[in-house]
């Protein structure tokens, strides 16, 4: 497993493009944000396919990253602000979850990691917690709910457990979301330079990552005439440069 930085993976990608095309990378005029966007999305596709192949072959090497302390808060099950409260409550994550490959984390556990929450689909959650079988409605249960573009974690409150924090493991699409995620509800992390954050990839997958990213950039964005030469993150496609 190669643990590098976003800055270094973009630099390595630029060298690979020069070797592939025989052209100076600056000719393509692709800003760093655009390159990073396609790198993480292509990596997500590769990871998804690789995980399926690994499991088929009995190789369970994973790409999981852990959030050790995700803060939860008790809220009423009626989340509409203009409706009266029901008096029944859930625990909901204080902050929406990062976006994960497959759409969900691979595990939600207690902070020790010894006890695992069982996933129940949101549409079945009410039926599960009202189950007459004690073993079904008293266990550690969690569900996920999408509101707008954000996905939230909910855990069911039993007589025994009101977890104010849980541990979450999963394979994120964007590692930046993991690096900046607030731990224990302390607020969003700050970093001096986002390009210095970690970028993790298996060495054997780098060539595939660069090839698919290059093809996607060429297909969708082409080699623009003008780029972000002022490093102002201007989109050269939607806001053409008037410089000659």
Report pLDDT digits (tens) over 108-145. Answer: 999 999 999 988 888 776 666 665 555 555 578 899 99
Report pLDDT digits (tens) over 47-67. Answer: 878 776 665 554 545 678 899
Estimate the share of the chain in helix, then strand, then coil, as percent rounded to the nearest 5: 35, 20, 40
pLDDT at res. 120? 87
pLDDT at res. 103? 87
Counting as low any pLDDT under 50, the low residues of the chain are 58, 60, 225-244
pLDDT at res. 68? 94
Could you give the CA distance from residue 138 to residue 197 in angstroms, rounded to a whole number?
Answer: 41
pTM for this structure? 0.73
pLDDT at res. 127? 64
Contact 70, 164 (CB under 8 A): no
Q: Which backbone phi and psi does 185 adopt, to 5 degrees?
A: 70, 25
Show the CA angle centred on residue 16, arms to residues 10 and 17, nearest 5°.
90
């Amino acid at each position: 497993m190669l643990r590098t930085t976003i800055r270094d993976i973009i630099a390595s990608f630029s060298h690979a493009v020069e070797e592939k095309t025989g052209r100076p990378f600056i000719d393509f005029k692709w800003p760093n944000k655009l390159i990073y966007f396609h790198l993480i999305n292509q990596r997500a596709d590769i990871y998804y396919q690789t995980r399926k192949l690994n499991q088929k072959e009995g190789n369970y090497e994973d790409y999981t990253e852990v959030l050790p302390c995700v803060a939860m808060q008790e809220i009423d099950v009626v989340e509409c602000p203009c409706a009266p409260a029901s008096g029944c409550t859930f625990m909901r994550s204080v902050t929406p979850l990062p976006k994960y490959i497959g759409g969900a984390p691979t595990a939600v556990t207690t902070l020790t990691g010894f006890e695992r929450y069982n996933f129940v689909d949101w549409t079945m959650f009410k039926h599960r917690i009202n189950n007459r079988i004690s073993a079904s409605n008293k266990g550690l249960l969690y569900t996920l709910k999408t509101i707008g573009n954000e996905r939230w974690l909910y855990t069911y409150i039993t007589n025994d457990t009101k977890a104010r924090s849980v541990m979450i493991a999963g394979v994120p699409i964007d590692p930046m979301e993991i690096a900046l995620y607030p731990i224990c509800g302390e607020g969003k992390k700050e970093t001096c330079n986002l390009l210095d954050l970690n970028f993790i990839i298996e060495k054997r997958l780098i060539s595939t990552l660069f090839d698919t990213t290059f093809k996607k950039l060429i297909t969708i964005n082409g080699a623009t005439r003008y780029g972000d030469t002022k490093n102002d993150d201007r989109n050269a496609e939607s806001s053409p440069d008037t410089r000659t």
